[in-house]
Amino acid sequence: MNLPRSYGSRIYLLHLIVVAAALVVIYLGWWRTGIFVIGASFIAAAIARAFVPLDHTGMLRVRGKVFDIAWMGFLGVSLVVLSFIVPG
């Protein structure tokens, strides 16, 4: 298997794999753990977007750098908080 050339595309691919695995975990009944993992994955992608150079962002770049970091960070933190505050 050939990996994408840019670091951002590799991070994006890893992010998609983690989200897919978390969706399987949710399907198996551990929704709180799955939501937490998805949120943590978005936070990690936001941090990666902050440090990956512009010429290596690849598919990790959607809009501008600030928008990408803010949106993925907000979504990640929201999902992590959601996994803790929703009553069982």
Name the band, by pLDDT with cuts 50, 70 and 90, for residue 18: very high
pLDDT for residue 38: 96
Tokens at 66, concatenated = 């600030």
- Cβ neighbour number for residue 75 with a 10 Å cutoff: 16
CA–CA dist 27, 65 (Å, integer): 33
DSSP of the chain: -PPPSSHHHHHHHHHHHHHHHHHHHHHTT-HHHHHHHHHHHHHHHHHHHHHS-GGG-GGG-SS-HHHHHHHHHHHHHHHHHHHHHS--
Domain that holds residue 80: 7-85
| Residue 56 belongs to a domain | yes
Does a structural domain hold residue 47?
yes
- Please check whether residue 71 lies inside any domain of the structure: yes
Predicted confidence band of residue 58 (pLDDT cuts 50, 70, 90):
low
Number of domains in the chain: 1
- Residue 57's pLDDT band (boundaries 50, 70, 90)? low
Q: Is residue 2 part of a domain?
A: no
Could you tell me the pTM of the whole model? 0.84
1 assigned to some structural domain: no
Write down the pLDDT at residue 35. 95
Mean pLDDT of 50-65: 72
Using pLDDT thresholds of 50, 70 and 90, give the confidence band for residue 76: very high
- Give the model's pLDDT for residue 27: 96
